[in-house]
A and B are shown apart, each in its own frame.
Chain A
């Protein structure tokens, strides 16, 4: 029981972390509340399914191909539908909702509402502190750690990372300093969707695919971002594990927990916000005060 809670909390938390950091990045840089973010995560999962079942590629190759395919799709969508109306916040908001609906419905048309699955990359168990854990879960955790480390390197150690951080702090000054804010936004979008796609790739063997699988992570991701403080990577990371563990605890300890897991996690978010309205690590933006 305790082991189940720990493993589930860690895996769910780290997948939420990948999603929330990506969402946080694009919100910080371009002020886009990208509701379609988890739809891209779902798209990546389906691309892997296509690669594996229709093209007959080995699972690793399917994953390697699916990530850039998702990023490319996202960039095309961004260029066509979001970029031209960037000035109108409300319009961008429903454009991303509509985009998520388009992806969901397109998948429904192509695959129907069936539950689909992809076999795990590796099978079997390992013993960790006397607990049997599937190797796939261990692999997923390893993947997440590598992805998070790479994001950290990208943000903190490269010039483009510096550009992303600068733009997130103050768009207008960045623009005045001669940075191409739109290009930075495009690059950030690519990084952000890439994180979502990697999260999708990690989730694929652990869960079943259906065209509505983006809803629950979307809500959890939004809650995490608010909990941690909009625009804060550190906050997103901490928030993911708080809510991931809260979910796991509720599911395993409370009767009818599966129904209440979302409610409890969201109630935690609201409680934190009552005490700290700007989230755990939030920064009050100048124009939003």
Chain B
């Protein structure tokens, strides 16, 4: 089915006509390349560690967006998937001695199970009820974790997991490539027909059902997909920290995910990823002011929202790109005419 040269040529055309014409896509490309090439320039373990954690949380925030942003099923308890993923990965590693590459996907399947367990009752709930109910699940599990210390290790958690890979650079490449890959997969999902149905469910569920689609199936699918990706993030986190502890299930973790995603810009997948890549290193940087670190952080979030209530990334994107009024294709803000239909982009 075609030679590699053919595919390479197609890739080149794609990059030339679809990627290099838009500032936002160039930024994504440069950003990905920069992340991949970074270890050539610095091997500072501290920098690498921050970026590894950032990548893990980027997967988590993007998975929240897949469920809550696209399907509109606002989930206040995303820490549940993260925690279940990391606890089941840890248990598999400790008791069944599974290596990380096998344990993490299986742990993510555990998170999918959790997604089904909360997804099925939550199908009946909408809006605020759903949001506030999902908040309860990780807290219930946290109570259980504390009540059966024999299995979960109680407050200390499960420690002594095997390493993700032999070296820091190895860990870095595993998490960064997984982040870029899974981010791409999630973006592809939201761009596919299924993603459009997710979007439609958020806008008007009744209308989707009226057009003969089984919204229950799609909502459960969204729960499963989202919990799978969040579970992978949880498993990676457990292997990186070499412990799985109750902090993964705390309310603060759920809130943190929402802050990252909404700050970066919901309903875009790349928005939450960018949100994590801005806020997480920022929080680390603020260690220069140890006492008021969180205070400054919360203020920055508050003030940014005041001026960009749609999130940071959509705000920037609208500054550097314009949408063609006729064919709805995005164009660089510097162009005078649309790159596809040549309609004038000047405001009438």
A interface residue numbers (CB < 8 A to B) = 27, 33, 35, 81, 84-85, 87-88, 90-91, 93-95, 97-99, 101-102, 104-106, 108-109, 215, 218-219, 222-223, 225-226, 230, 256, 259-264, 266-267, 269-270, 273-274, 277-279, 282, 285, 288-289
Q: Which residues of B contact A288 (CB under 8 A)?
A: 126-128
- A260 x B128 contact (CB < 8 A): no
- A263 x B121 contact (CB < 8 A): no
Q: Which residues of A contact B262 (CB under 8 A)?
A: 90-91, 93-94
Which of B125, B305, B310, B311 meets A277, CB within 8 Å?
Answer: B125
- A278 x B129 contact (CB < 8 A): yes
Docked Cα-Cα span, A106 to B206, in Å, equals 45
- B309 x A263 contact (CB < 8 A): no
Docked Cα-Cα span, A47 to B133, in Å, equals 32
Q: Which residue of B lies closest to A278 (CB)?
A: B129
A sample of 10 cross-chain residue pairs with beta-carbon separation below 8 angstroms, ordered by A number, consists of A27-B128, A33-B128, A81-B302, A101-B294, A101-B297, A104-B294, A105-B292, A108-B294, A266-B139, A273-B129
User: 20 additional contacts, CB 8 Å, given A256-B146, A273-B129?
Assistant: A33-B131, A33-B132, A35-B255, A91-B305, A91-B310, A94-B258, A97-B255, A99-B298, A105-B292, A109-B291, A215-B251, A230-B128, A259-B147, A262-B139, A262-B140, A267-B140, A269-B133, A269-B136, A278-B129, A279-B129
Q: Which residues of A contact B135 (CB under 8 A)?
A: 219, 222
| Given A101-B298, A102-B298, A259-B146, residue A225 in contact with residue B305 (CB < 8 A) | no
Q: Which residues of B contact A27 (CB under 8 A)?
A: 128
| Given A94-B258, A102-B299, residue A273 in contact with residue B133 (CB < 8 A) | yes
| Given A105-B294, A262-B139, residue A97 in contact with residue B258 (CB < 8 A) | yes
Docked Cα-Cα span, A262 to B139, in Å, equals 7
Which of B132, B146, B147, B255 meets A223, CB within 8 Å?
Answer: B132
Docked Cα-Cα span, A262 to B141, in Å, equals 10
Give the shortest distance, in Å, between B121 (CB) and chain A (any CB).
5
The B105-151 residues at the A interface (CB cut-off 8 A) are 121, 124-129, 131-133, 135-137, 139-144, 146-147
Q: Which residues of A contact B127 (CB under 8 A)?
A: 285, 288
Which of B299, B302, B306, B309 meets A87, CB within 8 Å?
Answer: B309
Q: Which residues of B contact A261 (CB under 8 A)?
A: 143
Interface residues on B, range: 35 or more
- A260 x B143 contact (CB < 8 A): yes
Docked Cα-Cα span, A223 to B131, in Å, equals 11
- B305 x A95 contact (CB < 8 A): yes
Docked Cα-Cα span, A93 to B306, in Å, equals 12
Which of B131, B295, B302 meets A95, CB within 8 Å?
Answer: B302
B266 part of interface (Cβ distance < 8 Å): yes
Q: Which residues of B contact A289 (CB under 8 A)?
A: 126, 206
Q: Which residues of B contact A101 (CB under 8 A)?
A: 294-295, 297-298
Which of A90, A109, A219, A266 meets B295, CB within 8 Å?
Answer: A109
| Given A85-B306, A105-B294, A270-B121, residue A262 in contact with residue B143 (CB < 8 A) | yes
Q: Which residues of A contact B251 (CB under 8 A)?
A: 215, 218-219
B263 part of interface (Cβ distance < 8 Å): yes
Give the shortest distance, in Å, between B114 (CB) and chain A (any CB).
14
Q: Which residues of A contact B140 (CB under 8 A)?
A: 262-263, 266-267, 270
Give the shortest distance, in Å, between A263 (CB) and chain B (any CB).
3
- A106 x B295 contact (CB < 8 A): yes
- B302 x A88 contact (CB < 8 A): no
Q: Which residue of B lies closest to A27 (CB)?
A: B128
Docked Cα-Cα span, A212 to B255, in Å, equals 15
Docked Cα-Cα span, A84 to B259, in Å, equals 18
Docked Cα-Cα span, A51 to B217, in Å, equals 57
Q: Which residues of B contact A285 (CB under 8 A)?
A: 127
Q: Mark B298-326, 1 if CB is under 8 A from A, else 0.
A: 11011001100111000000000000000
Give the shortest distance, in Å, between A166 (CB) and chain B (any CB).
20
Give the shortest distance, in Å, between A287 (CB) and chain B (any CB).
9
Q: Which residue of B lies closest to A269 (CB)?
A: B136
Which of B141, B146, B259, B266 meets A98, CB within 8 Å?
Answer: B259
Docked Cα-Cα span, A279 to B251, in Å, equals 23
Docked Cα-Cα span, A225 to B132, in Å, equals 9
Give the shortest distance, in Å, between B90 (CB) and chain A (any CB).
20
- B129 x A277 contact (CB < 8 A): yes
Give the shortest distance, in Å, between B310 (CB) and chain A (any CB).
7
Give the shortest distance, in Å, between B20 (CB) and chain A (any CB).
32
The B201-224 residues at the A interface (CB cut-off 8 A) are 206
Among all A-B residue pairs, the 7 with the closest Cβ atoms: A263-B143, A266-B136, A259-B146, A88-B309, A105-B295, A101-B298, A91-B309
Q: Which residues of A contact B124 (CB under 8 A)?
A: 273-274, 277
Q: Which residues of A contact B128 (CB under 8 A)?
A: 27, 33, 226, 230, 288
Docked Cα-Cα span, A91 to B271, in Å, equals 14
Docked Cα-Cα span, A262 to B144, in Å, equals 10
- B309 x A85 contact (CB < 8 A): yes
Q: Which residue of B lies closest to A230 (CB)?
A: B128
- A102 x B258 contact (CB < 8 A): no
Give the shortest distance, in Å, between A275 (CB) and chain B (any CB).
10
- B121 x A273 contact (CB < 8 A): yes
Docked Cα-Cα span, A284 to B209, in Å, equals 19
Q: Which residue of B lies closest to A81 (CB)?
A: B302
- A226 x B255 contact (CB < 8 A): no
